[in-house]
Amino acid sequence: MLPLAELHLHIEGTLESDLLVELARRNGVLLPTYDPAELTARYGNFADLQAFLDVYYANLAVLATEEDFHDLAAAYLARAAAAGVRRAEIFCDPQTHLRNGVPLEVVFGGLGAALAEARASGMSADLIVCFLRDLGADAAEELLRGALPFREHFIGVGLDSAELGWPPRLFRTAYEIAAAEGLHRVAHAGEEGGPEFVREALDVLGVERIDHGNRALEDPDLVARLRDERVPLTVCPLSNVALKGVARIEDHPLPRMLELGLVATVNSDDPAYFGGGIDANVAAVRTKLGLTDDDLSVLARNSFEAAFVHDADRTRWLAEVDAWSGSPSP
Ligand code: ADE
Ligand code: ZN
């Protein structure tokens, strides 16, 4: 199996319907239906990012205790390991849980316990705390100050949720604080927002990777910069189709990104909602976009190049990609 780093994955977006129902029962939370298949069937046709986010945030009311957060992350990490993921850099949205009355120690305690177990069984995993951009800049700074006492639980900050109307420059101060703390910095940009959002994320927030970045392709100068500076893009093909950024998987720009020499990677974003994990995304780009085994090894290499890891780990995983390239298997 192709060894990969998964770099764009919202832990809240891994809440599969069967666990959603189990947690709702555990915590006495009302759901529109308790039939997991019916819940999943409702995810079939989101109009756009906001339509998805409305469902995603509503479902998160089922997460209440450390055990719940542990179970959520443990289930993802087991699936990811089985799909060939060696390294997972996992987004979490603590502001959602704070809004639901769940304190940070519960979120970090539960997720941290699951990550510690995964590390003990040989996987590499870390958390990236995301700011919900539609809650604004003051809330982002407040979250970061509140999260710093839990600094050992996360390696970086990100920016997610509704993009349109929330340009990266609003979050300059939060990212300056993060940089001063030695945290890695990434941001969603160019998923629905235009290429100027990608530029601002680079120039104002100082991000090391762009999450999505699809709309950067509209600006040739920006493409040249991303290529020359080897700025990684964490691309999520099935998500882009599910949220209507791309009409059909066959139209996805990933092959063009590779042709242009961009450091593109494949990721699952919110696998419980968009038709599957990183393995389903790899299968889709292989079968529907015609990517070759050579292309897949480039994507795998890019993922380890883009990961926030020590060089010794990177070298070991790149050697595994070389071995896979010698005798590719699904
Ligand atoms: N939060 C979870 N998934 C997201 C996505 N695809 N874009 C922005 N915010 C998100
Ligand atoms: Zn995302």
Is residue 46 situated within a structural domain? no
* Per-residue model confidence as pLDDT tens digits over 15-50: 999 999 999 999 999 999 999 999 999 998 999 999
* Per-residue model confidence as pLDDT tens digits over 197-210: 999 999 999 999 99
- Span from the CA of 323 to the centroid of ligand 1 (angstroms): 34
Nearest CA to ligand 1 atom 9: 161
Nearest ligand for residue 190 CA: 1
Give me the catalytic one of 6, 12, 191, 200.
191
List of E strands, 111-237? 124-132, 154-160, 184-189, 209-212, 232-235
Nearest ligand for residue 159 CA: 1
Is the CB of residue 239 below 6 angstroms from any atom belonging to ligand 1?
yes
- Span from the CA of 269 to the centroid of ligand 2 (angstroms): 5
Taking the CA of residue 13 as reference, the ligand 1 atom at the shortest distance is 2
Q: Residue 329: what pLDDT? A: 75
Is the CB of residue 10 below 6 angstroms from any atom belonging to ligand 1?
yes
CATH of the domain at 293: 3.20.20.140
Is residue 170 situated within a structural domain? yes
pLDDT band of residue 290 (cuts 50, 70, 90) is very high
Is residue 258 situated within a structural domain? yes
Range list of H helices, 194-310: 195-203, 220-228, 237-242, 254-259, 271-274, 278-287, 293-306
Q: Which residue has the tokens 């609003």?
A: 170
Q: What share of the chain is helix, strand, coil (3-state, %, to 5)?
A: 60, 15, 25
Whole-number Cα distances in Å, 71 to 98, 191, 283: 19, 29, 27
Report, as an integer, the average pLDDT of 155-165. Answer: 98
Residue 191 annotated to the active site: yes
pLDDT band of residue 256 (cuts 50, 70, 90) is very high
Is residue 239 situated within a structural domain? yes
Is the CB of residue 269 below 6 angstroms from any atom belonging to ligand 1?
yes
Is the CB of residue 13 below 6 angstroms from any atom belonging to ligand 1?
yes
Is residue 33 situated within a structural domain? no
Please name the residues in contact with 197: beta carbons below 8 A apart, sequence gap of 6 or more.
Answer: 163, 167, 168, 189, 190, 215
Is residue 266 situated within a structural domain? yes
* Per-residue model confidence as pLDDT tens digits over 50-71: 999 999 999 999 999 999 999 9
Overall domain count for the chain: 1
Nearest ligand for residue 238 CA: 1
Q: Judge whether 200 and 167 are in contact, CB under 8 Å.
A: yes
Is residue 97 situated within a structural domain? yes
Q: Which two tokens stand for residue 53?
A: 């986010």
Report, as an integer, the average pLDDT of 142-167. Answer: 98
Is residue 45 situated within a structural domain? no
Is the CB of residue 188 below 6 angstroms from any atom belonging to ligand 1?
yes
* Per-residue model confidence as pLDDT tens digits over 72-107: 999 999 999 999 999 999 999 999 999 999 999 999
- Span from the CA of 228 to the centroid of ligand 2 (angstroms): 24
Distance CA 71, CA 51 (A): 26
* Structural domain boundaries enclosing 218: 4-16+69-325
Q: Residue 36: what pLDDT? A: 98
Q: Judge whether 69 and 107 are in contact, CB under 8 Å.
A: yes
Supply the mean pLDDT for the chain: 98
- Structure letter (DSSP) for residue 33: -
- Span from the CA of 120 to the centroid of ligand 2 (angstroms): 27
Query: What is the spatial order of strands in the sheet that 4-6 belongs to?
Result: 4-6, 85-92, 124-132, 154-160, 184-189, 209-212, 232-235, 263-266
